[in-house]
Amino acid sequence: MKILLILSTLLILTNCAGENVNELYQSIPKKLQDWIAEDKDEIYNRETLFNYINGGAELYLTYTFKEALVRRFVNARQPDMEIVLDIFDMDSSEEAFGIFSSEREDEEIGIGQDSEYGGGLLRFWKDRYFISMVVLGDEQAAKPVMFEQYP
């Protein structure tokens, strides 16, 4: 099976890896079936990352972290459900791999240059980006959009 959001993101990353990061962010889908992106994305840099992941920012800052985009998708039918997409621009593929490998726990699932999925958390890296996607709420309810098969 292919993962819709991640497949779209990988396609974007493959096509835009050398382009302006703002163009990359603008290319990410705002709607996935019943899942709709919140109105405003969150963007964090080296100075503001603690505001998002207080207690976890130190790890990213030991690498050449540049910027993070956070896009939250809310389920129109179940508003208490959320999928959070984090895209971390790590400035180089070596740094993106470093972040990915620092907390490796689950088995490879064949996305990007290396990936893992477990317990509603998908993590992978591709080029200079480390990407994570987490389901807040019922993981099983999110699987139809996360694991929908496309031709």
Structural domain boundaries of the chain? 4-146
Pick from 101, 91, 47: which is nearest to 65 by CA? 91
0.85 exceeded by pTM: no
Where are the alpha helices (H) located in 3-132, listed in sequence order? 4-16, 21-27, 49-52, 57-61, 93-102
Count CA atoms within 13 Å of residue 76 on its CB side. 9
Pick from 135, 130, 131: which is nearest to 118 by CA? 135
**Mean pLDDT across the stretch 30-47?**
88
Answer whether 87's CB lies under 8 Å from 69's CB. Answer: yes
pLDDT tens digits along 118-132: 888 888 888 899 988
pLDDT tens digits along 39-81: 889 999 999 999 999 888 999 999 999 999 999 999 888 888 8
**Mean pLDDT across the stretch 73-101?**
91
- pLDDT score, position 106: 67
